[in-house]
């Protein structure tokens, strides 16, 4: 349904602390962690961690993102519910 798509939320989850934060929109995630929205969009789109896929010149930028995330991983709400229905 259309309603499900409209309610596209994001989950930030820290596997170490088991802390979970829900966000309604990607810009909210971006501002919470202080990461550029377009950067975060790519990060979420390609999945985490993408550090292994990165070109060498991208490594410092990716490490900067990871340090800003402070151990949190970002999931689309739909992915999160799939993981947790197993």
Task: For 34-64, write each residue's pLDDT tens digit.
Answer: 998 888 887 777 665 555 556 676 778 778 8
Query: What does each C-alpha distance from 10 to 23, 27, 79 come to in angstroms?
Result: 5, 10, 9
Residue 63 contacts residue 51 (beta carbons within 8 Å): yes
pLDDT, position 27? 94
**For residues 64-73, average pLDDT:** 89
pLDDT, position 1? 46
15: left (phi over 0), alpha (psi -120 to 50) or beta: alpha
pLDDT at 29 over 70: yes
Residue 37 contacts residue 30 (beta carbons within 8 Å): yes
């Amino acid at each position: 349904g259309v309603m499900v798509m409209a309610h596209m939320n994001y989950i930030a989850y820290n596997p170490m602390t088991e802390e979970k934060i829900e966000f309604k929109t990607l810009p909210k995630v971006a501002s919470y962690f202080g990461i550029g929205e377009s950067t975060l969009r790519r990060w979420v789109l390609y999945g985490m961690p993408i550090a292994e896929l990165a070109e060498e010149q991208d490594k410092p930028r990716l490490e900067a993102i990871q340090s800003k995330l402070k151990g949190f991983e970002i999931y689309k709400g739909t992915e999160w519910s799939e993981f947790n229905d197993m």
